[in-house]
Amino acid sequence: MSSKISAIIQARMTSTRLPGKVLMEIEGKSMLWHVINRLGFSKKIDDIILAIPDTAANNKLEEFARKHNIKYFRGSEEDVLSRYYQAAKMFNLDMIVRITSDCPLIDPKLVDEAVEEHLKSGADYTSNVQSRMFPRGLDVEVFNFKILERAFREAKESHQREHVTPYIWENPELFKLKNLKAEGKMRHPEFRWTADTKEDLELVREIYKHLYNPGKIFYAKEIVDLLEKYPEIVKINENIQQKSL
């Protein structure tokens, strides 16, 4: 029997640099809507689940999930690893694709490549973030439930509880890790396509203004082509310091 592959998107309203960003609009739809919509073009993902904090400040995200008929779980705001694990456990998941809610340019083709590589290699954890070669904002991580469960039970450091996967990739002697390499025009670690600040969101909105058509999808290579044609777009957020994963 084939395993069920589900994406869990962690989302919160209380981000420090740009509070409420996940519901800010891009071309008439919220950032979170675009993340979910783009993942819907994946050929490997069977389901999408939101992992939302259980605080009152995040009730709007539950309302969003209900309105759009998206499965969700609510748990600890600070212990994101616990929230993530409990969400996977509640929905009885086999294999998990981790996506964050501030990546409205996530590429479903790249997600599918990560899933395929994970299945082919037999790795415990597959990602494109251990050694960064892709633009930031295309981050995808794939791991099996048993690996997530082990991290949940063994991770003790605060940063390991706050960011879900550090315990896994900080312990290569415990887990088989696989890192995806960017080829050709996708090798742009200097590009910042995540939406963590006002400048980031401005850049994302500019990209959408050029490439977005409702009901269709544009891919990462098209974004690179756009930025090569209009290099001034890159300058919008080039002064934002890259944060660690």
Residue 131 within any structural domain of the chain: yes
pLDDT of residue 46: 94
The per-residue pLDDT for 240 is 84
Do the strands 95-100 and 141-144 form a parallel or antiparallel pair, or are they unpaired? antiparallel
Q: Is residue 11 part of a domain?
A: yes
The predicted structure's pLDDT at residue 2: 55
Total domains present in the chain = 1
List the structure tokens of 237.
């957020």
Structural domain harbouring 181: 5-237
Q: Residue 42: which CATH number?
A: 3.90.550.10
Q: Considering the entire predicted model, what is its pTM?
A: 0.94
For the record, the structure tokens of 170 come out as 């900080």
The answer to whether position 244 is within a domain reads no
pLDDT per residue as tens, the chain (245 positions): 456 899 999 999 998 889 999 999 999 999 999 999 999 999 999 999 999 999 999 999 999 999 999 999 999 999 999 999 999 999 999 999 999 999 999 999 999 999 999 999 999 999 999 888 999 999 999 999 999 999 999 999 999 999 999 999 999 999 999 999 999 999 999 999 999 999 999 999 999 999 999 999 999 999 999 999 999 999 999 988 655 43
Alpha helix segments (H runs only) across 91-157:
108-121, 145-154
CA of 157: how far to CAs of 86, 100, 167, 170, in Å?
19, 21, 8, 11
Asked whether residue 108 is assigned to any structural domain, the reply reads: yes
Token output for 7: 């994406």
Residue 227's pLDDT is 97
In a domain, 242, yes or no: no
